[in-house]
Chains A and B, each alone.
Chain A
Amino acid sequence: MAESLRMAKPTEVEIGEQKAPVIAPGHTFASITDKIASIVLRRPITNGWLFGFAICFLILQWFLLAVCWLFYKGVGVWGVNIPVGWGFAIVNFVWWIGIGHAGTLISAILLLLRQSWRNSINRFAEAMTLFAVACAGMFPLLHLGRPWLFYWLFPYPNTMTYWPQFRSPLVWDVFAVSTYLTISLVFWFIGLIPDLASMRDQTTNKALKFVYGSLAMGWRNSVRHWHRYETAYLLLAGLATPLVLSVHTVVSFDFSIGIVPGWHTTIFPPYFVAGAIYSGFAMVLVLAIPIRRFYDIKDFITDRHLENAAMVMLATGWIVAYGYAIEAFVNWYGGDPYETFLRWNRLHGPYALSYYLLLLTNIVVPQILWVKRIRTNSIWLFFVSLDVLVGMWLERFIIVVVSLTRDFVPSSFGQYYPTWNDWSILAGTLGFFAACMFLFLRLLPAVSISELKTLIPQAEVTVKHEEEVHS
């Protein structure tokens, strides 16, 4: 490691004339610290923040009511039935966990690929990952029926002398998702330590100094510490890269190991991972666009970031489109009557409208991202991203519901209608997610202070090696 991976070469920073820079010119170490720390430490709480947080908090209360009702009555208050035993719970689980993927992609994979533009968006993308995975995790737990017995999923010696079935994808999922949550949490927290130390040194408030100081654990910016820190960070990035790819792969095994038409297909792992990154970047944009506007940090989250995220969406969107095409082709080429019927059912069955909407939102509309003026226009990008989020939700709805309602024997066909409780819990997790983001923006530095410093010209080491010292 001759040089730090996060240390951008100046040529990478100003990569071309026509592209926006990754950080606005004129910043110094001090101005970066001041600007980011002041969002938390000095900026007063605005009415806009209060209003937004209050709405999310109300939705969260509604969510708690819906969950209480669910616990009181049981999963019968949902629309799930036989044959559709999975319903909204699994649709929403897969959707949320997919959204979480962008955070790790940005923080780990783009770090290994030396994409220095990631330095200003990784912090809140990682926070987004954590909150999204927390939302995702709620659904299988609520779906358990007896959620207080969730710990039965883990292997521990018990009086029933009973163990989890390690050949089941559902058990793999428990391990994949809980590992993902844990590693994302430590990755995020490790990234925060130097910035928490900055906050500790910046604040004049005794109580805040104590809180940030405790969280920073006495970090003192020693270069020996930085050296080990960089190694640990790099190792975590290297570990998180296969991890993030494995998580949605394992989620797709939940489906593809089953024999239900539309599920039993080998394209699922890559197609799920691409879809996850697609929706994750859409969520990054949905969050980044208002954050940089309301907190006035367009210097750090520049048009370059938005454009790069849009291009990632365009690329992963095409992988998803390829997945749809291959699914349709294999349905036809395989000649299996149940798969053929599935194709007909998606296009003409009772849920056909959702399939057409899926093609529109996930494939047709995002093509406007080919136009550079749209990629660099934050209003357009915001709405395209919302469209993709809806599209990816519909995709999971179609996979779960359309396949389960009509599988093999017409006598077992059914219909699925979500109830008010289903919708309340979906809306409630959105409220939870947004409320967490609101708190995060006010309590922690939303952009990595120490990593941004490596992007400005003053961070460049120009002294030569040892010889010069003795001359």
Chain B
Amino acid sequence: MKDPLIYGMMAEFDNVNDAIIAARRTYAAGYRKLDAYSPFPVEELAEAIGFHKNGVALVCLIGGLLGCTAAFTLQWWINNVSYPINIGGRPLNSWPSFIIVTFEMTILFSGLSAVFGMLTLNGLPMPYHPVFNVPRFELASKDRFFLVIFASDKNYDGVRTRQFLEGLNPISVAEVPS
């Protein structure tokens, strides 16, 4: 049943509401390995295919804590251990003056973690992806919405999946070569 040359079955929709309804029906029909594509962020569409939570915020938090700790520790170590200077008897660990750099490094690390975490979790950069084998797919960045059921789904069947997608009121249905 599994054909290694087939990546999945793609349906095209011309408005966001049809795409959401179709995605919900597909999910309700038991398909789990599926993805949807839209020219702008549509939260309902992500939820319709069963994608509710992502790990970006956690990565960002970890990055921020790391930046914060590293920056403060570095300043403390420089001023207390590596290069202590006694200026008029003032304390070596003058922590209030370390706060600004600590703050900036917290922002820098958490921001970069959010960005690179997002890219990594999304699997980008990705030079090749099978969905682009369907010529109409380039409209996904313009004005069309796409739903793809992957061939790796246990319910996938070349004929029945195509019939199922055709019943969802799409503009076109196409097989995605891998």
Residues in chain A within 8 A of chain B (CB atoms): 1-4, 6-7, 28-30, 33, 155, 161-163, 166-167, 171-172, 175-176, 179, 182-183, 186-187, 190, 194, 197-198, 200-202, 217-232, 235-236, 239-240, 242-243, 246, 250, 253, 450-451, 453-454, 458-463, 466, 468-470
Once the chains bind, are A175 and B37 in contact (CB under 8 Å)?
no
- Distance between B168 CB and nearest chain A CB, rounded to angstroms: 11
Asked if A166 and B142 make an inter-chain contact with CB atoms under 8 angstroms apart, the answer reads: no
The answer to whether B125 touches A217 (Cβ under 8 A) is yes
* Complex: chain B residue closest to A195, CB-CB: B141
* Cα distance A197–B126 in the bound complex, in angstroms: 12
Known: A220-B131, A227-B54. A175 touches B94 (CB 8 A): no
Instruction: Judge whether B28 is part of the interface by a CB distance below 8 angstroms.
Output: yes
**What are 13 of the A-B contact pairs (CB < 8 Å)?**
A1-B43, A167-B94, A183-B108, A202-B141, A218-B124, A220-B137, A221-B38, A223-B46, A235-B114, A239-B114, A450-B39, A450-B40, A466-B24
CB pair B37 A223 closer than 8 Å: yes
CA distance A155 to B102 in the complex (A): 13
Distance (Å) between the CB of B160 and the closest chain A CB? Answer: 20
Report the separation of the CA atoms of residues A183 and B106 in the bound assembly, to the nearest whole angstrom: 12
Residues of A within 8 A of B143 (CB): 28-30, 33
Can you name the residue of chain B whose Cβ is closest to the Cβ of A241? B107
* CB-contact partner of B126 in A218, A228, A450, under 8 A: A218
The answer to whether A227 touches B46, judged by C-beta atoms less than 8 angstroms apart, is yes
Check if B86 is an interface residue, CB within 8 A of chain A. no
Inter-chain contact A243/B107, CB cutoff 8 Å = yes
Q: Is the CB of B16 within 8 A of A201?
A: no
- Which B57-113 residues sit within 8 Å CB-CB of chain A? 57, 60, 74-75, 78-79, 82-83, 94, 97-98, 100-101, 103-105, 107-108, 110-112
> Is B25 an interface position by the 8 A CB rule?
yes
Max chain B CB contacts within 10 Å: which of A33, A218, A228, A454? A228
Is the pair A222, B37 in contact by a Cβ cutoff of 8 Å? yes
For the complex with contacts A220-B140, A224-B46, A232-B118, 7 further pairs of A-B residues with Cβ separation under 8 Å are A33-B143, A179-B107, A190-B115, A220-B126, A231-B114, A235-B114, A253-B100
| Shortest beta-carbon distance from A201 to chain B in Å | 4
Most buried by B among A190, A235, A451: A235
Q: Are B20 and A226 in contact (CB under 8 A)?
A: no
A166 contacts B101, CB within 8 Å? yes
Q: State the majority secondary structure of interface residues on A.
A: helix
The 8 A-B residue pairs with the shortest CB-CB distance, nearest first, are: A29-B143, A217-B125, A218-B126, A232-B118, A201-B138, A226-B41, A223-B46, A198-B141
A1 to B46, CA, bound (A): 12
Identify which of residues 13-46 in chain B touch chain A, using a CB-to-CB cut-off of 8 Å.
15-17, 20-21, 24-25, 28, 35-46
Q: Is the CB of A172 within 8 A of B141?
A: no
Which B residues are in CB contact (< 8 Å) with A4? Answer: 41-43
Residues of A within 8 A of B44 (CB): 461, 463
User: With a CB–CB cut-off of 8 A, which chain B residues contact A179?
Assistant: 104-105, 107-108
Given A4-B43, A218-B129, A186 and B100 contact (CB-CB distance below 8 Å): no
- Within the assembled complex, what's the spacing in Å between the Cα atoms of A466 and B97? 54
Given contacts A3-B43, A162-B83, A166-B75, contact A229 B104 (CB under 8 A): no
CA distance A338 to B90 in the complex (A): 28
Q: In the bound complex, how far is the Cα of B111 from the Cα of A429, in angstroms?
A: 28
* B170 on interface, CB distance cutoff 8 Å: no
Contacting residue for A198 out of B82, B115, B137, B142, CB 8 A? B142
Could you tell me if B118 and A231 are in contact, using CB atoms closer than 8 angstroms? yes
Q: With A218-B126, A226-B41 in contact, do A175 and B57 touch (Cβ < 8 Å)?
A: no
Contact among A161, A175, A230 with B41 in the assembled complex (CB-CB below 8 Å): A230
| A221 and B39 contact, CB distance less than 8 A | yes
Chain B contacts of A459 at CB under 8 A? Answer: 16, 40
Is B132's CB within 8 Å of the partner chain A? yes
* Cα–Cα distance between A162 and B78 once the two chains are bound (Å): 9
Cα–Cα distance between A187 and B122 once the two chains are bound (Å):
17
Smallest CB–CB gap between B71 and chain A, Å? 8
Residue contact B100 to A230, C-beta cutoff 8 Å: no
Name the B residues within 8 Å of A230 (CB-CB): 41, 43
Residue of B16, B100, B104 most packed against chain A (CB within 10 A): B104
B178: shortest Cβ distance to chain A, in Å? 15
Q: How far is the CA of A200 from the CA of B45 in the complex (A)?
A: 24
Q: Which of B135-151 contact A (CB under 8 A)?
A: 137-143
- Report the minimal beta-carbon distance from B137 to chain A, rounded to whole angstroms: 8
CA distance A262 to B45 in the complex (A): 57
A33 and B144 CA atoms in complex are apart in Å by 12
Q: Report Cα–Cα, A102/B137, bound state, in Å.
A: 37
Q: Which residues of A contact B129 (CB under 8 A)?
A: 218, 220
What residue in chain A is nearest B83 (Cβ atoms)? A163
